[in-house]
Structure 1
Amino acid sequence: MATKENKGTRAFNETIKAYLEERAENDALFAVRFANPSKSVEDCVQFIINQVWKSGCNGFEDAEIYGMAVHYWEENEIEVGNPINCKVVVNHTVELTEEEKEQARQDAINKLRDEEMAKMRRPSQPKKASEKETANVQPSLFDL
């Protein structure tokens, strides 16, 4: 794909690839189609994203998406479509590497620090007369 992928799209690519590889291992006829050098998983994913976009639906069963992937590989002449910049959500947990976890932790720390610094830089608002501290006022003997 020509666009920069987000983690969800990478996970989607990997999920589709794993499904197709497993299918090719278990289905000799599909294995022949899957070995076609003029096709790629990236184009397959682009085809699926374009089909989903055209449908106008936001959610699909796994079987529907896998069916689109198989259809892409089974058709000799198929229009992949143009790259679409979108976010793909997969229905399984994306495992982060230790480096990605550490980066996320550092990003969170930096964001918190920046938010706290911004609070400290804001000018304090003058208190209203009704909010002024009155709790520390002690009556004197002369007020009685």
Structure 2
Amino acid sequence: MRTKSFNEVIADYLKQRAAEDTLFAPKFTNPKKNIDECCRYILGEARKRGNEVVMTDDEVFGLAIHYYDEENIKINVSGGHRVSNTRQVDKPKKEPVQLSVFNQPPVKSAKAKREESKLQLSLFD
């Protein structure tokens, strides 16, 4: 079994939503919008929430719909995101998607580590 990518999960949801919702369908076919930019928007919004963010399906899909609903939307792009989801290709469609966004923490330099150790008191000094 193969796990779907974040972009695939979002695209599948939006395609299904467009097929079922006649008001959303024209917004989804807007040539100025695309799935990759939509996913960058979702990740940017998740990044605003903190370093390790777990979002519900409704929150993630709500952000995707918001991206398509708004004509002029600002996308906050920042690197270092790792996205995971638990949806499998062979799972039934009614099972919920669980998406997690983890931002890679900044790596401390060796110099910063040495400065931290100088501040530490020792019982043997």
Gaps of 5+ in 1: 1-6, 96-144
TM-score by length of 1: 0.56
So what's the TM-score if we normalise by structure 2? 0.64
Q: How does 1:65-104 map to 2 (within 5 A)?
A: 65-93=60-88
1:43-79 deviation digits (Å, cap 9, x = unpaired): 0000000000001151011011000000000000101
| 1:47-126 → structure 2 map (5 Å cutoff) | 47-56=41-50, 57-93=52-88
Which of the two has greater strand per residue? 2
In the alignment, what sits opposite 2:6?
12
Larger Rg: 1
Give the paired residue count: 88
Three-state SS of the structure 2 residue aligned to 1:55 is coil
Gapped regions of structure 2 (runs ≥ 5): 91-125
Structure with the larger helix share: 1
* Percent of aligned positions that are identical: 34
Shift of 1:19: 0.2
In structure 1, C-alpha distance between the alignment counterparts of 2:73 and 2:16, rounded to whole Å: 23
Question: Could you tell me which residue of structure 1 aligns to residue 27 of structure 2?
Answer: 33
